[in-house]
Amino acid sequence: MRMKMRNRQQKSSALCCNAGSRCSLPLVIWSLVGCVLVIHLYSVVRYKDRGATTQVRLTRRTVTRELEEVEEENFQIPPPRGKRSPRAVKRRGPRKQPTAIDEFLDEGSDLRPFFFPDRRSAIDPTKEGNDSMFFYPARMWLDMDGNPIQAHGGGVLFDEKSQTYYWYGENKDGETYHAHKKGAARVDIIGVSCYSSKDLWTWKNEGVVLPGEETNITHDLHRSNVLERPKVLYNDRTGQYIMWMHVDDVNYTKASVGVAIADSPTGPFEYLYSKQPHGFDSRDMTVFKDDDGKAYLVYSSEDNSELHIGPLTDDYLDVTRVMRRILVGQHREAPALFKYEGTYYMITSGCSGWAPNRALAHAAESIMGPWETMENPCIGGNKIFRMTTFFSQSTFVLPLPGLPGSYIFMADRWNPPELKDSRYVWLPLTVGGVADEPLEYNFGFPLWSRVSIYWHKRWRLPEGWRTAYT
């Protein structure tokens, strides 16, 4: 058989190219066509492979159908008003028509209650009723003591030992001010708050697990500095909880990561040190723990023009010397990573300070890259909603155990005039279907699945999930 094939191959090559002669142009063209066909076949087979998990996905699809319904939002920029707040006028000039984002940032806007509904509509788990277990993106969200949750720029850790979710984030429950004229709105460091929950809806305040420093002005966490985007990982080898965070000075020139450690998920965390990872500036960041226990730091660097990714040491207390530059020149921040069926995905935002902008989804076969940029993952709402990530900014993507391919997208709706009253936008995120925008090196054939974040005014996790997992 093999002989026969070889003979056939020899015959066919003899037909095309005589020994010693150069191959003709048509041959080159046909070879290229052949290559493209093979690649196409490969991508089809890959999708068929993925079909092996269709069973799971089908089950998931029926369970999560409600979450994937496209919900429109009737929101329009109101006609220009006579009176605008002096800050808005300063930003846009007196004559320019305000954009939706101007309206959003304008404390005096008529749309203020639409973007930041008042306490009367707060999600209140202490009250039994029809609203039980429903997420309402951007409404106030109260903890079990009836106080607004303070966990901004946060992330959630599922602790296997206690089978409990821990939500860590910036406690911004202080006064908003500008350190100087051109400085961004800020709140002094209070510390990192922690909340615990079994069902992802009722949250018990576990207190400030890493406090800011009151007196020592040289301390990284002195209240006059910046502590943002804390994330916690559990290290299976050492049995310790490691917190990574962005630490900075008031002008964001220190651009470093900070590391803290605790024996229990509720702390207290001991602050260890800060550094510029791999010798580079590091601002928005996250950490990600892979299935094999290896963890990675991802951070915006080179003045936010690119992201860097690198593995942590085995104890998660430092970075190693290995680092790759990714999404170079794309100016992305607020990274949130997750993995599905062996592929890595990431959601990022653009760089516009507290103002919202368009999210993008990225994908990679290997966590160290290359990473490719796909499309805007936001679905539903309306165009303005989709172009502003529903007026919010990514912070974390939380996998839902038992629902492969389904996640909660966690984002912050920042409220720069009153940062402590920033809101949480939690929405269902799913991976599946073909990406809308084919990517750079795939000859136009889609290699990645689409990442979709669905807008909902009100939604809850599927009942089956709630009964099985809470």
Note the residues at the interface with ligand GAL (CB under 6 A): 153, 184, 228-229, 284, 333-334, 351, 353-354, 393
- Give the residue with the Cβ less far from ligand GAL, 206 or 284: 284
User: Which of 272, 268, 326, 259 has the alpha carbon at shortest distance from 299?
Assistant: 326
To ligand GAL, the closest distance from the beta carbon of 251 in angstroms equals: 11
280, 303 Cβ separation under 8 angstroms: no
To ligand GAL, the closest distance from the beta carbon of 188 in angstroms equals: 14
Rounded distance between C-alpha atoms, residue 111 and residue 458, angstroms: 19
- Give the residue with the Cβ less far from ligand GAL, 356 or 405: 356
* Cβ neighbours of residue 228 closer than 8 Å, sequence gap 6 or more: 153, 170, 245, 246, 248, 284
To ligand GAL, the closest distance from the beta carbon of 359 in angstroms equals: 12
- Give the residue with the Cβ less far from ligand GAL, 223 or 229: 229
To ligand GAL, the closest distance from the beta carbon of 284 in angstroms equals: 5
To ligand GAL, the closest distance from the beta carbon of 229 in angstroms equals: 6
To ligand GAL, the closest distance from the beta carbon of 389 in angstroms equals: 12
Q: Which amino acid is at 117?
A: P
- Give φ, ψ of 144 to 5 degrees: -70, -10
To ligand GAL, the closest distance from the beta carbon of 334 in angstroms equals: 5
- Give the residue with the Cβ less far from ligand GAL, 197 or 348: 348
- Give the residue with the Cβ less far from ligand GAL, 169 or 462: 169
Two structure tokens written together for 273: 């040190």
To ligand GAL, the closest distance from the beta carbon of 220 in angstroms equals: 16
- Give the residue with the Cβ less far from ligand GAL, 192 or 403: 192
- Give the residue with the Cβ less far from ligand GAL, 197 or 357: 357
- Give the residue with the Cβ less far from ligand GAL, 395 or 430: 395
To ligand GAL, the closest distance from the beta carbon of 392 in angstroms equals: 11
To ligand GAL, the closest distance from the beta carbon of 142 in angstroms equals: 24
- Give the residue with the Cβ less far from ligand GAL, 124 or 412: 412
To ligand GAL, the closest distance from the beta carbon of 327 in angstroms equals: 15
- Give the residue with the Cβ less far from ligand GAL, 283 or 460: 283
- Give the residue with the Cβ less far from ligand GAL, 63 or 179: 179
User: Which of 427, 398, 401 has the alpha carbon at shortest distance from 337?
Assistant: 398
